[in-house]
Structures are given as C-alpha cells and as structure tokens.
Structure 1
Amino acid sequence: MTGAALATPFPGPTEIQLFPGAPACAADAGSWCSRLYGWTHNDFLASSADLIVSRGLAIVLIVLIAVVARALLHRTIDRLVRGAANGPSRVPAVLRRRAPAGLRHIAAPLLSERRVQRANTVGSVLRSITSVVVLTIASIMIMAEFGLNLGPILASAGIAGVALGFGAQNLVRDFLSGMFMLLEDQYGVGDVVDLGVATGTVEAVGLRITTLRDVRGTVWHVRNGEIQRVGNKSQGYAVAVVDVPLAHTVDIAQAVELAGQVAAEVAATEDVAAQLLEPPEVLGVETVTVEGVTLRVTAKTLPGQQWMVQRALNAGIAKAFDSAELPRPYSAAPPSDRSQP
C-alpha cells in the first residue's frame, strides 16, 4: 500500500452526494442532514434531520418545564398544607375559659390531629389536580410540535367531556361537595352529626361519601352531593336538655326549687363536673298541654358529652321528684283483654 493511498481522506460531504439515494442536503457541510446521513446512511432520517433536532429540542424543553412547574406547584401546596396543619388552633373561647385543664390537654392533640388530617387530604387532592393539569397541557404542546391537527382532537375531547359530564354529574357533585366540606371543616371523624338522611357518629370522611354509624350500630354511607344540611352536635360545645313532665296540680315553685337543688348536686359529682362548662340552669315551665306541664333544665357541656350529663340529670331529678311525691301527668292504663280467662 502506497503512501498516497494512506493519505486519502474519508469521503466529504461533496462526495456523499454522489452516493445513490443521498438527499441534496447531505452536501451541506456541517448541517445536521450531512451529519445524520454520515452516521446512518438513511436518506429519510437525513432529510428530516433539521425537523427532528428542532422538534426534539422543543419537546425536551417542554418536558423539562412541565417537570419543574409540577415540582414547584407541589412544593407550594406542601408549604400551604404545613402552614394549615401547624397553624393556630381554632378552639372556641368558651372551651378555653370553661374546660378543665386536664380536658384541655386531652382535647388539644385531638384537634391538632384532625386539622393535620384535613390539611393532608386537601393537599393530596390539590397535588393530583395540578399534576393532571400540567401533564395535559404538556401533552397538547408536544402533539402540536409533531404537527398534529389539534382541532379534531380538542373537539372530540370536548364532546367526550360533555358526555362524561352528563353521565357522571352526580360523581362530580359529590367530589365538589366533599372538597368544600373538608375546606370548611363542617364535621370530622368522631363528630355526632345529623345529615338529614342519617344521624350518627362519623367514622370516615371521603371526597365522595361520608360514613357514619347510628345508635343502633347501623353503618350509613351518605353521598356528599346528597347532603343538604349538616347539624354537628359535637362542635364547640353542647347542651344537655332535660324535660320533666309534671301534673297540672303540681306546685311549680316547689318543683323548680327541687330541680335546681338536684341539678346542683348532680353537677358536683366528679364524673359530671368534668364534662360541664357551666352550672345547670332551671329554665322553668317549657310547655303546658292537656296532659300536664313540662319543666326544663339545661346544662352546657363539652362536645359529645351532653347525653351522659342528660342521663345523670334525668335520673337524679326523677328520683327526687318521686321521693317528694310530686304528681306526674295522668296516663290511663291500657284496657284489659276480656277474651282472656
């Protein structure tokens, strides 16, 4: 082999053009077409080199921007969630003033845990929504870079969205109602609520349904979109109401005085005193009917403790009235069955 043969350079761009099937752009030295044809010897890839490189860089840039935007949005949401979870507690002033110190120490972690749970749930939903929105926008931009006609695609998506909206409007309503219930803190796990269609203790709060158990042990699954009103019996404070039926001939002053004494004695017991926010109060005669009169006694209690206090007051007042022989409303005995021997 001669030295002249060793000195022969590799084919340049002008020589590549002489190959059969080589695109015309392969003759441009330094172009992506020339480089790609020299690497692959594929005329289709070479002729589309500029388009592939420019679109590829644009697609990579779109993906990077989408990833960064998603990360920043998630970080912002996490910061908001931490602020909401660690923010000041919205404990009612009456609880801070009246509740015993021991119960305040017990209630504070429970309220904090509930706030953290609600904030985490809302944060998870917001993160999912932002991810879907960012990825959808990035996908549309990438399809546009490929030169796809987005008009028919968007029109088809719109029609599908309308059809899905009509078919799943109840699901969307349940989801939105659940979001607002979580944001507004209308109720939480452990609260005793009246949802209209069911009443009981809340066992789970979801974005679509709320699960509660009534006093008979029945578990109710209530769709959030069907809840028109919420009566929360465990938020802030509660009131124990005791209605004592008496006959028309009773001495009202004596009954009121005796009820007040008994209520004060019951409130002084250790179990009841720990649940009271204010001393019991005898309101007097509540109603007058043909059967008799009704005497009402009330007591402000901690949330969810009104039934225990109410039972204690009922038992104490009933026993004291029976001992004092205060007359009760007359009730006729049921007629006897004469057919029996």
Structure 2
Amino acid sequence: MLQNLLTLISPWFFSHGAKLITIIIVAYLIHRSAGLFINQLVRRMVPSEHFLDPEAEQKREETLIRIFSGATGILVWVIALLMALQELGFEIGPLLGAAGIAGLALGFGGQYLIRDLIGGIFIIIENQYRIGDVVCFDQTCGLVEDITLRLTTLRDLDGTVHHVPHGEVKTVSNLSKTFARVNLNLGVAYSSNLEQVIEVVNRVGNDLAQDPAWRELIITPPQFLHVKDFADSAIMIKILGETKPLKQWDVAGELRKRLKIAFDQAGIEIPFPQRVIHQA
C-alpha cells in the first residue's frame, strides 16, 4: 500500500513538487535579501534633515524600512503564489482576467483603497510623522505604533488601539517632531506681587533646566512669558519652555510640583474658585 502510494507520488514530486519547494525557498530568500538591501539603502540614501536629532532620524529610517519591506514582501509572495498556481496546473491568464473584471466590479469600493494608498505615499514623502511619534488625527490622538501604505495604527493613553486609514485623515498634528513645548497657564492671587511671582517662576525654571536629572530633556528653560488674563479668581500667567520631543509632559509635571513648593515657601497663593452665600 505504502509502496503504491510512493510510486504514485514520486513522479509528481520530481516533476512538480521539487519546483514548488524551489519557488518557496527562492521567494523566502528574495524576501529576506530584499529586506536587508532596503535596510542598507534607506540608511545610506535617505538624506538627513539638519534640524532632526539622531533619535528622530532613526525613527524616520525605521518607518521607511518597515513600509518598503512590507510592500516588497507582498509583491514577492504574490508573484510566488502565481508561479505556484501555474505549476499546479492552473491557467494564470484566466485568473488575471477574472481579477481584472472583479476589479472593475469593485471599482467604487476600490477608489477608497487607492485614496488610502496615495495618502500613505504622501505621508512618507513629506515625512509628516514616523513610528514612535505622538500625533492627533482630528479628535483621535496616540502613539504611532505602525504605518503601512494604507493605514496608521495609534495607541492612546488608555491603551486603546486605533486603526486610521490614510484617506480618512484630513488634519495631522504631530506633537513630537523636532521639539516640544511646555505651555503652562497658572493662576496666582490678585494680592500677589507680580515681580516676585516672575522671579520665582524664572528661578524654578532655570533650576529645573540645570538639574542633572532633567537638563538633557530641556532645550530652553521654562520662563514667564506674559500675563494671560484677569480671571474671576486669579491673575493667569503663561509659562513657556522647549523640551526634547515627547518629554514635554514629564517636564511640565515636574515643573508644576516645584512651582507649588516654591510658591508655598514664598507665600504666593494659588487661588481656587469660592462661593460665598449670604443668608437673609
């Protein structure tokens, strides 16, 4: 029984099976080699932008490598599949013709796919954002975890993953490109001495920028900018400083903590809304 089965299989294996295995092995080797070639090519040929730090430039290169490697892998395996089908006896011509007819039938749906792909190409060419950046698409914000030609994958602060097709993106806000800002509005009591407030704010910002644990993250120290508003319960002041990308939230949190301690020591009040009820 087994010998008969081997007798039947052996001619097919030597005439077709070996070719199928060869197609798979060659496709795998081409895929791997193309990935290594793209890696080297991107790192050598993509021009550096003088305003990007090495970390940002590395994120850009890794984004391009992932996209081009993914597209190349799809192309290689599609060609390998067509060759394997032909080796198994399927006529490729009618299949391609049927695919063309199906493409025409699905033309209205395919236009959205084409729109997504074109949007992805422009995102890559214009270097709008990269893997590892924090971006906002209209009301959807998060860390860029993956980019393909069709869509971008974001993970927000709650851990929710959002898959956003490029054709749906109208406005891109990149919160982490080149540099970021600490933009803090702070209220002080109307009875406060503004000159003292300015002196304390600037001193705290300079001390934070000189702290060994924080100075590598800060480009320009957070400083008093101007009086923003006369609110109901407080004089609102604006504090502004520049940080490395993605570090603005850490620096702002530490700045708030130090300002509260310094204000308490200097007797500067941070007011809060109060309601006084008079009974007749």
- How high is the TM-score relative to the length of structure 1? 0.58
Whether contact under 8 Å (2:59, 2:132) holds in the other structure is no
Residues 132 and 176 of structure 1, relative CA distance in 2, 3 Å threshold: farther
Residues 331 and 274 of structure 1, relative CA distance in 2, 3 Å threshold: same
**Equivalent in the alignment of 1:203:** 145
Deviation at 1:201, TM superposition (A): 0.8
Out of 286, 305, 314, the position equivalent to 2:256 is 314
Q: Secondary structure at the match of 1:318?
A: helix
**Equivalent in the alignment of 1:184:** 126
**Range moving further from structure 2, 272-281 or 301-310:** 272-281
Distance 2:57 2:233 in 1: 46
Residues 253 and 209 of structure 1, relative CA distance in 2, 3 Å threshold: same
Deviation at 1:321, TM superposition (A): 1.2
**Equivalent in the alignment of 1:228:** 170
Deviation at 1:305, TM superposition (A): 0.8
Structure 2 unaligned blocks of 5 or more: 1-35, 80-95
**Equivalent in the alignment of 2:113:** 171
**Equivalent in the alignment of 1:86:** 44
Distance 1:180 1:88 in 2: 16
Q: Within 5 Å, give how 1:144-163 maps onto structure 2.
A: 160-163=102-105
Out of 185, 192, 195, the position equivalent to 1:243 is 185
Distance 1:189 1:127 in 2: 19
Number of residues of Structure 1 aligned to a counterpart in Structure 2: 232
Residues 161 and 124 of structure 1, relative CA distance in 2, 3 Å threshold: same
Give 1 or 2 for the bigger CA radius of gyration.
Answer: 1
Whether contact under 8 Å (2:59, 2:130) holds in the other structure is no
Residues 303 and 330 of structure 1, relative CA distance in 2, 3 Å threshold: closer
Deviation at 1:122, TM superposition (A): 3.1
**Equivalent in the alignment of 2:218:** 276
Counterpart residue type for residue 205 of structure 1:
I
2:236 paired with 1:290: no
Q: Deviations over 1:134-180 (max 9, x none)?
A: xxxxxxxxxxxxxxxxxxx99x9877544312123222222222222
Whether contact under 8 Å (1:122, 1:183) holds in the other structure is no
- How high is the TM-score relative to the length of structure 2? 0.69
**Range moving further from structure 2, 84-93 or 323-332:** 84-93
- Higher relative contact order by CA 8 Å / sep ≥ 6: 1 or 2? 2
Deviation at 1:127, TM superposition (A): 8.4
Out of 99, 104, 111, the position equivalent to 2:57 is 111
Residues 334 and 236 of structure 1, relative CA distance in 2, 3 Å threshold: farther
Counterpart residue type for residue 87 of structure 1:
M
Whether contact under 8 Å (1:247, 1:327) holds in the other structure is yes
Whether contact under 8 Å (2:67, 2:147) holds in the other structure is no
Whether contact under 8 Å (1:122, 1:179) holds in the other structure is no
Whether contact under 8 Å (1:285, 1:295) holds in the other structure is yes
Deviation at 1:301, TM superposition (A): 0.9
Q: Determine what percentage of the aligned residue pairs are the same residue.
A: 30
**Greater strand share, 1 or 2?**
2
Distance 2:139 2:110 in 1: 22
Whether contact under 8 Å (1:238, 1:306) holds in the other structure is yes
**Equivalent in the alignment of 2:265:** 323
Deviation at 1:274, TM superposition (A): 1.0
Distance 1:157 1:91 in 2: 43
Q: Within 5 Å, give how 1:60-71 maps onto structure 2.
A: none
Structure 1 unaligned blocks of 5 or more: 1-77, 97-103, 134-152, 336-341
Distance 2:252 2:103 in 1: 54
Q: Deviations over 1:213-261 (max 9, x none)?
A: 1112222122221111111111111111222111223221111111111
Residues 119 and 204 of structure 1, relative CA distance in 2, 3 Å threshold: closer
Counterpart residue type for residue 295 of structure 1:
I
